[in-house]
Amino acid sequence: MLSYKFKSVLLIALLLIITGCNQPNTETSKPNDYLYNAVGMTMGTTYSIKATKLPEKFTSDEITRQVKVLLEKVNGQMSTYQKDSELSLFNQNPSMDWLPVSPEFYQVLAESIKISKLSEGMFDVTVGPLVNLWGFGPEEMSLSPPDESAIKDRLNQIGFQHLKLKEDGKLVRKDIPQLYVDLSAIAKGYGVDQVAALLEQLGIMDYMVEIGGEIRVKGKNSAGNPWQIAVEKPTEERRMIQKVLSITDTGMATSGDYRNFFEVDGVRFSHTIDPRTGKPINHKLVSITVLNPTSMEADALATALMVMGPDAGLQFAEKNKIPALFIIKNEKGFEEVMSTAFNEQVR
């Protein structure tokens, strides 16, 4: 008999803003701790912004208005669910000619190719057809895994090497007409960086920006300390804190396979697809948190490391000096493994 279970939440990782350094699992910040506190929806998920101080010439309402305009622009460029977004129109266009794109869209594609080359394809924004095939994209969810022939067919439709960029003129070209780009593993981080840049342009230098679990922090929190960010314990039953990070002036991204998956006859299928096999990852790494000056790069690197798994991922992080926290499932529960750069950066 077919058994089926699907879990989906707005955030891949629970990221709590904590005002106290002691007993972080009980003392969390409240909206009135901050002069600016905004929440909303964007990119199919939630966003949260906190600022300790505000410049006198801007009201909270005006800041929120500017943030919403910016996020609408980003969503209109990067969304796979919005049929008239710049990304969707590019995906629907079978042309293999050079096509002009917006500077912002080009920037995200260029960063994607950079991380794809660095990770030797473990991060690949063209893996969308496989994500959709397994039911984790805009296509209708299936109640069973796809057959091998369908996986093989879509493996022939992917590969970041088929996406060509030309800096002069901000031009993009497909090598194969069916190439499909999915920026869900990098666009939220990009959106965080754009909101952070807007806040700084407005003169706000103590802030936290979060979109769908990707974060950017600068300055100090309401208690005058570095921001206290909690990483969720990777369990299905209830939400608990695994570790609290004291950080500032950095981006952060967490990726995991414990919230967005389905099960068939007791076998779990994660939303994270390995571009080499066309199938969901199958290893003991259940959560990875990456720190980086930009949330966009942290976002992409977290996905790449999640695909690699605990051993290859740690080797990659050490080789490239990436601050990364690995949470690995073992017989006794969960084990934390930190890269050297992570140990040096986190207090």
Nearest 5 degrees, angle CA 171-CA 129-CA 97? Answer: 25
DSSP 8-state class, residue 31: G
Q: How is the chain split into domains, by residue range?
A: 4-76+186-345, 78-174
Give per-residue pLDDT as tens, 199-248: 999 999 999 999 999 999 999 999 999 999 999 877 666 677 888 999 99
pLDDT in the model for residue 144: 73
Segments in the chain below pLDDT 70: 1-32, 137-143, 235-238, 257-270, 347
Helix or strand holding residue 83 (H, E): none
pLDDT in the model for residue 237: 61
Q: Are strands 99-100 and 171-174 parallel, antiparallel or unpaired?
A: antiparallel
pLDDT in the model for residue 235: 65
Give per-residue pLDDT as tens, 91-123: 999 999 999 999 999 999 999 999 999 999 999
Q: CATH fold of 4-76+186-345, please?
A: T-fold (3.10.520)
- The beta-strand segments (E) located in 202-266 are 207-211, 214-218, 227-232, 241-247, 250-256, 261-264
pLDDT in the model for residue 143: 61
**Residue reference for tokens 């969720």:** 232
Q: How far is 290 from 322, CA to CA, in rounded Å?
A: 7
**What six digits make up the tokens of 303?**
């996905």
pLDDT in the model for residue 139: 61
Q: CATH fold of 78-174, please?
A: T-fold (1.10.3980)
pLDDT in the model for residue 303: 95
Closest CA to 303 of 217, 212, 185, 127: 185
Q: How far is 165 from 161, CA to CA, in rounded Å?
A: 10
